[in-house]
Amino acid sequence: MTKRENKSESKRHFKLCHQNLCISQINFQKESYLGFVELHVISQRDDLKKIKLNAKQLKIYRVCILYTAENLIKDCHFTYSDPTLDISQSESKRNLDNYSVSHLAVVQSVDPDRGNGELIVEMPEDIPEIVSAVKERKVIRLHIEFACERPKGGVQFVVPQSDGSLSERGAHMFTYRYENLNRLWFPCVDSYSEVCTWRMDFTVDLNMIAVSCGDLIESVYTPDNKKKTYHYCLSTPTCAPNIALAVGPFEIMVDPFMHEVTHFCLPHLLPLLRETCAFLHEAFEFYEELLSSRYPYSCYKQVFVDESYEESQSYATMTVLSTNLLHSRHIIDQTYHSRRVLSHAVAQQFFGCFITMQSWSDAWLPRGISAFLALQYYKKAFGNNEYRFDLYQQLQDVIHYEQKYRGVVLDPSHQSSSETNAFYFPIKHLHTISPLYDSAHHKKSYLVIRMLENYLGRELLLQVFNKLLSLAINAAPQKFSASVWFNFMISTNSFIWAISTVTGKNIDTFLKQWVYDGGHAKFHSSFVFNRKRNTVELEIKQMDIQSTGIKRYVGPLIVTVQELDGTFKHPVQIEDNITKHDLTCHSKSRRNKKKKIPLCTGEEVDMDLTSMDQDSPVLWIRIDPEMQLLREVVLEQPDHQWQYQLRFERDVMAQMDVIHFIDRFSTPQTRNALTDTINNEQCFYRVRCAATLCLRRVANHMANTWTGPPAMLSIFRKIFGSHSCPHIIKLNNFSKFQHYFLQKEMPFSMAGLRNIHGICPQEVLKFLLDLFKYNDNSKNKFSDNYYRAALIDALSETVTPVVTAVINPTGQTIAGEALSMDTKCILEEITRYLNLDKLLPCYRHTVTVSCLKAIRHLQKMGHLPSNPMFFREYAISGVFIDVRKAALKALIDITKAEVRKDDLDFLLDLVENESIPSIRLYILKQFVKNPPFVKNQQNILNSEDLVDRLWLLMNSQLSYDSKIRCAVVDFYYTLYGRGRPSCLPKPEFSVVLNLKEKKVSTALITTDELEPQDSSIDRDMEVEDTKDLSKDTEDMDILPVEERFDQIVKETEMNEHNKNEKSPQRSSEPQLSPQMAEPEEHALERVPTVGTVDDVDVAPTPHIESLPSVSSDITPQPTISSIPPTTSEVEPTVNPSKEKSKKDKDRDESGGHSSKPHKDKKKKKKKHKHKEHKDKHKHKHKDKDRDRDRHHSRDRTASSGGSTNASPVKHI
C-alpha cells in the first residue's frame, strides 16, 4: 500500500467539528437530569436535508439551529424512533436465525457509521442564512435540549438507602457504555470515527464533584450559590463514545508523583486509594519510554465508583473503575489484579481513547495494541514468567472458545455474508456479538499483535506504534479545517500502511491467516529416532481441520530438539495436512562421559540420564516453542522425555505443557518428577501450583499402588511445618509470595486426593482440620483472608457423595443423625468461619464466598438438604457483589439440579429488574455455563412460558444494553439452539414454504451421495449453499406438489389403516404430528392444536402417516421414485412400525423433524447395500438390522441438522 487510505468519505452527510455538552439539575432521588448539546456541524454536500443523530431513551424537548452572530433561533422539525426497541416483529419466525438477521439489520439501521441515527432533524429550508451555510460548508450550530429520567442503561445512579444527606450516604452517578452506547445519555454522533473538540459544563450540588473528560477549566458557583458548575474543555479531538461523566461526593487525591493525575474515590476509602494507585506513575513512565512518545493528553483521572459496569472503562483522559479494585497493602492477590487493570486502563489512553477504531472491523487494533502495551508493563512489573504464563492462559482460553463455539474473526470486513451469518449471532457488529465471543476477541486481538511482534520484530512494531501516535499527536492541535483528524482513527488498512512505511514489510499473508479468518491450527505430532541416520523423523499432522475453530495452517514452523549437546532449532515448512521432516541430530551418543548438558538458555546442568533411551540423544522436543502461531500442539513423546522437559526446560509454557500431558503416565517416575518440581525453589510458583494439581491426578490414578503418606503431605510439612513439630504449621508469614501461593494451593490439591474407595483419606482431612486449628496470622504483615478462603475451598473439595443407598433428590429428609462425624467437623468449621466473617468481615468477604460455595457443594453431595432460600438471602441487593455472585452461582446450580420454576423465576426476575448491570450479566453468563437444561431435553422448565419470557427479554426489553441482550441470546441458544424451540406450538402449516423447502432438500439429496459423519459440524457453513439452491427451486410451481399430496392420500390410506390397527392409540396422539416430517421447520415444530390424524381435511396429515414407506415418492426425479418399491420389498413389514418409534425419538432429539428427504437417500443406500448383502448371505439378517440402525442414526443426525438450520444440510 503506497498511500494511507483516508476513509473520510463516510456515509454521513456532515462532519462534526465541535460539540458542547451541558448537564444540570442532576436529581439523585428522581434519577434524572436536564441538559442540552450544541453540535457544530459542517455539511458535506449542497443539499443537506436531514441530519441523523443518535439518541436513545432521552426525551428530546427541542431541536433548533442557531444562526448568525446574534444567535437567532430557528426551531427544526425532528423525528425520533428507536427500532432497537423491538428486534423481530414477526411472531411466526421465532428462531435465532431470523432474530440475528433482524438484529443486525436493526442495529445497522441506527448505526452512525452507516450514516444512520435514531434522531432525524430536518434542516429548515426557509432561512437563507442556513441554506447558504450548508452550501458554503460553514458551521451550523444545532442545539438540542433533552432530559433523561430513570435511565435503564448508560447512566448508573447509585443512591444507597440510609439516613443522612446524599453525600454522607455516598450517593453518586456515572455513565457507562458498551462500546458506542453513549447515545443513552446525550444526543451525539455516536461513532468512534467522528471526532471533534468538546466543551462541557456540569452543574452539581455543592458537596459533589463532577469529573469528566478533558481539562477542568474552572468551577464556578451558580448565581444563587446553591450549586456549582464545572467547566471542562477537551481540545484533543475525541469521539462521542469516549466521553464520560461521574458525579459524586468523591475524595480527591492528587498523584504525588505526577500532578496531572488525579484519583477520586468514594468517602472513607482514601487510604486504600493511596495504596492502590501508588504505582501508577511507573506505568505512565513505562509506556512513554516504550513508545518513545509522551502521554497524549494533558491530564488523567481515575474515578472509583460502586456498581460499575465493568472493572474499568476508559474514556478520553479518564477511567471509570470499580471501587472493588481498591485494596490496602496487606492484600496480596488483589494487588496483582488491580495493578493489571489500572495499567491496562492507562494503555488504553494511548490506543483506544486517543487513537480509536475506524469501524467495527478495526476494533481488534486498539484492543490488541492496548493489551499488548499493558502486558509489556505486566512483564516489567511481575516478571517474564508471569507474563508468559498469562500468555499461555490466554492462548488456552482462545483455543477453548474457538473449539467450543467458532473461530474468532478479528476483522470480519473481508468475510462474505454467509460466513459471518453462519453463526447464531452476526459477528459484523459489536452490538450483536455474544459477550463470550467478545472476550475471546479481546484475547485473540492481543495474541495476534504479539505474533506480529515476533513477525516484525519488537523494535519495529514499537516504531509503528510510535508512528501512529506521533501522527495523531501532531494532528491534535490542528483545526478541523486541516483535515488531518483522520489520524485519530486506526483501521486495518492504515495499520498496514504504517507497517509498510516503517518496516517495508508486507503483512498481507499474516493478516489473511490470522485476522481476516477465524480459527487456529492444531498439530498432532509424533516422532521416531532413526539411529542409523542419526535423525529424528518427525511427523506433523493436521487432522481436525474440519472441526469447529480449527483451520489448516500452511507456512513455517519452528521445532526445537533438546539433545545431549544442546538445544537445536529446526525450521520446518508445513505444506500439507501431513508432513514428515527429518531433523538431523548433532549429538553423538556418548552417555558414558559425564558432562554437563547445555540448555537453550545457555546454562549447563547435570542430568541423571539413566532413564533415557540408550540409543537416542534426544531429551525432548518442542513444537513452536516461542508461540509464533495460534495453535494447539498434541505431541507424543515417551514419558521420560516429558519428565526431562519438566525438570530441565526453563520455559514456563513448556513446563505447563508437560503438566497438561504428563498425567497420562501415572508412574513413580512421573511422581518423582512432579515432586521435584514442587520442591524446586527455582521453579516458577504457578508451575509449582499447577504441578500440585497434576500430582493429585497422578496420585489418584495410582491409588492402588500408592505407598507412603498421602501425596504432598511431606512436602507441605517440610516447607510450612514448624521446625520442632512439623505437623503444626508455622505462624503465617506471607512475605515470600511464592510460598504464599503454594501454601494456598497445596491444601486444595491434597483435598482432591482419593483412596481406592474413592473417598478422601482420613489423614488428609485431619491434616486440613489441623490447618484450620493452627492457623495464626497474628504476626503476619499480610491479611490471610484469601488463605482462609482457600482452606474452606479445600475442605469442601474433600467432600464426596454421601454413601447412603438412596439419596433423596430434594434432600429434605436428611437428619442430624445422618451426618457423619467428618461432615460435622467440616460443617463446624464452615459455620464458624461464615459467622465470624459476618462479625469481623474480611477483605472482599472472600471467606463468605468460599463458605457459600462449600455449602452448595455439601448440598450437592447430599450431606445437606438443598435450600434455595438460603442462597436467595445472599443474592439480594445490599450484599457485597462477590457474595451475591457466589450465591447466584449456587442458585443457578440448584435450578439445574432441582428444576423448580420458582428458582428460575427468581433468577430471571433479577435479570429483568436488577439495578446493577454486572449482576444481570453475571447471571446470564453463568446460565450459559451451567444451563438448567440443554437443547431438546425433556425438562419441566422447558416450557412455552420460558421461551416467551426470554424472547421478550431479548427482543424488546433490552434495547438499552446490547451486551446483556446478546447474553440473553447466548442463553436462548444454549437452551434451544437456532431452531424453533421444541416446546412451542407449531405455526400454521404453510404449504408454500413447506414446498419450497422440501424441494430444496430433495434436490440436494439427489446430488449428494455421501452422508456426513456428523452433520452438525457442517451446519454452520452450509447456509449459503442452501440459500442458493432455494432460489433455484423457488420457481417451481405449487401444483405438482398438491397433486402429489392427493396421490399420497390415496396411496397411503391403506397403509394408514393397517398402522392404525397396529397402534391405534398413536394416531390420536398430537405428538405424532412432528413426524409429518416436512423440511420446513416451522411446520415441523409447531404441533397443530387440533392436528390429530382425524383431521382428514388437512392435507398433510395423511402424508405424515404415509411417510415411512411411501414418502420417497415425493420427489421430482422420476428415477428415484422408482426405487421405493424395491426397498419396501426388502423390508416390507418391519419398517413402518419400527420407523415410527424411531421417529418419535428423532423428534425428541431434534425438535421434530423431517427425515423424509434423507429417507430417499436411505433407500438408495439400502439398495446399494443390498448388493453387498448378496456376498454375505450368512450375516444377512444381522447386517440388515445393523444397517437399519445406522440409517436411523443418520436420519437423526441429519434431521437435527435441519432443525437447527432453516435449510437442509449439504452433504460432502
Partner 1 sequence: MEMSCGSVGTVKESVSARRRVLYSAVCAVCHENEFSLADKPSLDTLLQMLQSLLFEIGRSSQAFCELSGRTEPLVGDVVMALIEMGLNCDSLSSYAMRANRVTIASPQLMAKQSTPRILQAGEKKQLTPYIADYLPAFPDPHSYIRTPTHKQPVTEYEAIREKSASQKRDVERALTKFMAKTCGHSLTHRLFPDEQISHLFPLIILKVESNPYLNALLPKDQVFDDNEEQLIHKKETDKKAKPVVNVSDKTDALNADNATEEQTNETNKLTLNTSATDNDVLDNPYLRPIKMSSRKRSRKQFET
Q: How far is the CB of 366 from partner 1 (least distance, A)?
A: 28
Q: How far is the CB of 724 from partner 1 (least distance, A)?
A: 5
Q: How far is the CB of 895 from partner 1 (least distance, A)?
A: 17
Nearer to partner 1, 3 or 779 (CB): 779
Q: In whole angstroms, how far apart are CA 659 and each of 453, 635, 637, 666, 688?
A: 27, 13, 13, 12, 10
What is the rounded distance in angstroms from the CA atom of residue 1049 to the CA atom of residue 1037? 20
Using only C-alpha atoms, the chain has a radius of gyration, in whole angstroms, of: 34
Nearer to partner 1, 254 or 1054 (CB): 254
| End-to-end alpha carbon distance in the chain | 39
What is the rounded distance in angstroms from the CA atom of residue 22 to the CA atom of residue 342? 29
**Axis-axis angle for helices 962-976, 917-929 (nearest 10):** 20
Query: What SS3 class is residue 596?
Result: coil
Nearer to partner 1, 54 or 323 (CB): 323
Residue 803 has phi, psi (to 5 degrees) of: -85, -20
Cell for 452?
Answer: 506480529
Q: How far is the CB of 227 from partner 1 (least distance, A)?
A: 10
Q: How far is the CB of 665 from partner 1 (least distance, A)?
A: 40
Nearer to partner 1, 160 or 985 (CB): 160
Nearer to partner 1, 307 or 1078 (CB): 307
Q: How far is the CB of 310 from partner 1 (least distance, A)?
A: 16
Q: How far is the CB of 925 from partner 1 (least distance, A)?
A: 21
Where do we find the cell 452448595? 856
What is the rounded distance in angstroms from the CA atom of residue 1181 to the CA atom of residue 518? 48
Which amino acid appears at position 328 of this protein?
Answer: S
Q: How far is the CB of 174 from partner 1 (least distance, A)?
A: 14
User: Can you say whether the dihedral through the CA atoms of 1144, 1146, 1149, 1155 is positive or negative?
Assistant: negative
Nearer to partner 1, 226 or 1177 (CB): 226
What is the rounded distance in angstroms from the CA atom of residue 306 to the CA atom of residue 158? 7
Q: How far is the CB of 613 from partner 1 (least distance, A)?
A: 50
Nearer to partner 1, 235 or 548 (CB): 235
Which amino acid appears at position 240 of this protein?
Answer: A
Nearer to partner 1, 29 or 162 (CB): 162
Q: How far is the CB of 708 from partner 1 (least distance, A)?
A: 24
Q: Strands 300-305, 261-265: parallel, antiparallel or unpaired by DSSP? A: parallel
Cβ distance 405 to 547 under 8 Å? no
Q: How far is the CB of 964 from partner 1 (least distance, A)?
A: 22
Residues 6+ apart with CB under 8 A from 828: none
Where do we find the cell 512432579? 674
What are the residue ranges of helices labelled H in 780-820? 785-797
What is the rounded distance in angstroms from the CA atom of residue 997 to the CA atom of residue 1207? 7
Cell for 680?
Answer: 524446586
Nearer to partner 1, 316 or 633 (CB): 316
**Axis-axis angle for helices 652-661, 384-404 (nearest 10):** 50
Spatial CA neighbour of 866 closest among 854, 876, 877, 858: 858
Residues 6+ apart with CB under 8 A from 580: 537, 538, 539, 540
Q: How far is the CB of 845 from partner 1 (least distance, A)?
A: 5
Residues 6+ apart with CB under 8 A from 231: 199, 200, 201, 216, 217, 218, 219, 220
Nearer to partner 1, 683 or 854 (CB): 854
Q: How far is the CB of 153 from partner 1 (least distance, A)?
A: 22
**Axis-axis angle for helices 435-456, 962-976 (nearest 10):** 110
Residues 6+ apart with CB under 8 A from 961: 152, 153, 178, 181, 917
What is the rounded distance in angstroms from the CA atom of residue 832 to the CA atom of residue 830? 5
Nearer to partner 1, 274 or 1169 (CB): 274
What is the rounded distance in angstroms from the CA atom of residue 273 to the CA atom of residue 295? 22
Q: How far is the CB of 280 from partner 1 (least distance, A)?
A: 13
Nearer to partner 1, 98 or 877 (CB): 877
Nearer to partner 1, 572 or 879 (CB): 879
Q: How far is the CB of 326 from partner 1 (least distance, A)?
A: 6
Q: How far is the CB of 170 from partner 1 (least distance, A)?
A: 5
Nearer to partner 1, 871 or 951 (CB): 871
Nearer to partner 1, 327 or 581 (CB): 327
What is the rounded distance in angstroms from the CA atom of residue 146 to the CA atom of residue 58? 6
Written in H, E and C, the secondary structure of 722-774 is CCCCCCCECCCCCCCHHHHHHHHHHHHHHHCCCCCCCCCCHHHHHHHHHHHHH
The partner residues of 66 in beta bridges, in order of sequence, read 73, 141
Query: What SS3 class is residue 42?
Result: strand
Q: How far is the CB of 722 from partner 1 (least distance, A)?
A: 7
Nearer to partner 1, 169 or 1138 (CB): 169
What is the rounded distance in angstroms from the CA atom of residue 260 to the CA atom of residue 254? 8
Which amino acid appears at position 138 of this protein?
Answer: K
Question: Which helix (H) or strand (E) is 219 found in, with range?
Answer: strand 215-221
Nearer to partner 1, 72 or 254 (CB): 254
Q: In whole angstroms, how far apart are CA 208 and each of 91, 151, 228, 252, 955?
A: 49, 20, 9, 11, 38
Q: How far is the CB of 52 from partner 1 (least distance, A)?
A: 36
CB atoms within 10 A of CB 3: 7
Nearer to partner 1, 298 or 393 (CB): 298
